[in-house]
Amino acid sequence: MIREYGPIPLIPAAWTLMFLTVVYPGVDPYWIKHMHLFMLVFLGFFAVASGHQMTDKVMKAWRNIIAVGFFFTALGTAGFYLTQYQEILSLTVILYWFIAPAYGFKITSESIERYSELYSNLRYFSFLAVLAFAAGESLKIRVLTGAGLITAAAVQLISIILASKLDHE
């Protein structure tokens, strides 16, 4: 049950906090740090509790994304304690969670029939999201940065809802 329904509220919550943090920098770092800590616990628990169910090609890809994501999220969390490296560690975890799901969408689109084209399109929208985010950050255009974050959140929410539907078929 945690594998099917846990990510549905959690992924949008994480991206919403990221959006508020990047686009509206007035968010207290306390909340961001604690969201990272919560995500570490959730990702670790998710990997342990659901890992044995994730054995086919698609599920292995997502299990690996989650497992590696645990370590990237740990790097982001470390940035709150190693403040001289906070910017690079934060950027590293953000980019991981932008790019890694695109790999999962690729594997998924190549391995399933139903929703295959949609998963393939989600992969491309993931790349558009990271490009918008990177352009927004480098050009200091908050609207573009925000568009990248919103796109990533929407893409990943759609993918989780589709995965939940596929689990019940």
Separation CA 4–CA 2 (nearest Å): 5
- What is the CB neighbour count within 10 angstroms for residue 103? 15
Structure tokens at 2: 């945690």
Contacts of 28 (CB under 8 A, 6+ apart): none
Domain around 13: 2-167
Contacts of 160 (CB under 8 A, 6+ apart): 7, 8, 11
Q: What is the pLDDT along the chain (169 residues), one digit of tens a residue?
A: 555 556 667 777 777 777 777 767 777 888 888 888 988 998 888 888 877 788 889 989 988 998 999 999 999 999 999 999 999 998 999 999 999 999 999 999 999 998 999 999 999 999 999 999 999 999 999 999 999 999 999 999 899 888 888 776 6
Q: Domain total for the chain?
A: 1
